[in-house]
Structure 1
Amino acid sequence: MGFHLMGGPMALAGRVDLEERRQAALDLLTQYIRIVDDPRRIEEWPALFSDDAEYIVITRENHERNLPIAVIRDDSKDRIADRVTIIREFWGAGGRAADRHYNDAWPRHVVGPVWVEFSESGDALVGANFAVYQSVQVDVAPRLLAVGEYKDVVEFSGATATYKAKKVILDTSVLQDVFVYPL
């Protein structure tokens, strides 16, 4: 009596390909968190997105009502890159302390659990709960900045995974503080 794979070798190849894509989508989320948690690496953030990607931060209430009103809506990689310019030039993230218009803040993302499903087109639909804390040098304790859920669409080109859409759904309609860094 031998081991039998249902579906034969082609089904196994399909599962291996999906597992590789699932891992690439998880690796993309890990890279996203590593970059946005380090203001010195903010220039790397746009490279995680496809050219026609969108980055949206929206309240849960507006998302569930299908209202197009977002806290942030960047509808292309170029606009995402513009956001980095604003962060660097106005807020002085990671630059000289004398040039900063904002306290030296370090965000920290706590993410999980993460789930991955696949659309019929082959894109990965990635979801995760998140909390973002902010540590500011002048404060004694970190502050909770935002809590919510990621609903992302990840597309693949060869072995490269990029965000086609990154939707940040905030559980509350008000943030505790000004935020300039990506959530």
Structure 2
Amino acid sequence: MLDFDTYTRLLALYADYAAALDNGALDKWPAFFTEDCTYRLQSRENYDSGYPLATLSFESRGMLKDRIYGVTETIFHDPYYQRHVVGVPRVHTFDGTRITAEANYAVFRTKPDGLTSVYNVGRYIDTIRCEPEQLLFESRICVFDSEMIPNSIIYPI
């Protein structure tokens, strides 16, 4: 059973993660993860079938940093804003050092000259490592529901 303090820290992790992405603080994104992390953006069909194919797949904090460098320094794309709406995380297990949890998410996209649209909807499937000073994602799998997604996903979900 997760104690109140740890659950509060878990809620803060989810909220701070979304706020960093929504506010364009992409350089902060890798710091939410352990050094030996996994981050994947994967379709529901592939996840449910056990297929490894993912839209994005990174296996370390270094790879996350490289992605942010690519997004901010080398990739040309039309600018847009993201807004995350994240459900309350449902804790599956807690062994004192790791939490496994799941939360629904919806990400909206707004282009400066356009209307807001639904960009990506699904669920986060997370393993969170409990460090003395902070909680960090050891694994974050973003399982999106739709079989159709924009032909390029630039920013993390």
1:120 and 1:109 map into 2 onto residues whose CA distance is 29
2:89 and 2:33 map into 1 onto residues whose CA distance is 19
1:177 and 1:38 map into 2 onto residues whose CA distance is 23
| Equivalent position to 1:56, from 36, 40, 47 | 40
2:3 and 2:154 map into 1 onto residues whose CA distance is 35
Bigger radius of gyration, 1 or 2? 1
The normalised TM-score by structure 2 is 0.93
2:81 and 2:139 map into 1 onto residues whose CA distance is 25
More displaced 10-residue stretch of structure 1: 147-156 or 120-129: 120-129
What CA deviation, in whole Å up to 9, does each residue of 1:44-71 have, x standing for no partner?
1101100001101000011011111111
Tell me, what secondary structure is at the counterpart of 1:24? Answer: helix
Instruction: Please give the residue correspondences for 1:1-183 in structure 2 after superposition, counting only pairs within 5 Å.
Output: 18-39=3-24, 41-91=25-75, 101-120=76-95, 122-139=97-114, 141-183=115-157
Corresponding letter in the other structure for 1:23: T
Corresponding letter in the other structure for 2:70: I
Corresponding letter in the other structure for 2:149: L
- Work out whether residues 124 and 153 of structure 1, in 8 Å CA contact, stay in contact via their aligned partners in 2: yes
More displaced 10-residue stretch of structure 1: 107-116 or 81-90: 107-116
The normalised TM-score by structure 1 is 0.80
Tell me, what secondary structure is at the counterpart of 1:176? Answer: coil
Deviation at 1:121, TM superposition (A): 5.8
Identity %: 23
What CA deviation, in whole Å up to 9, does each residue of 1:128-155 have, x standing for no partner?
111111000121x101111100111110
- Work out whether residues 119 and 125 of structure 1, in 8 Å CA contact, stay in contact via their aligned partners in 2: yes
Tell me, what secondary structure is at the counterpart of 2:7? Answer: helix
How large is the RMSD of aligned CA atoms in angstroms?
Answer: 1.6
Corresponding letter in the other structure for 1:66: G
List alignment gaps of at least 5 residues for structure 1: 1-14, 92-100
List alignment gaps of at least 5 residues for structure 2: none
2:127 and 2:148 map into 1 onto residues whose CA distance is 25
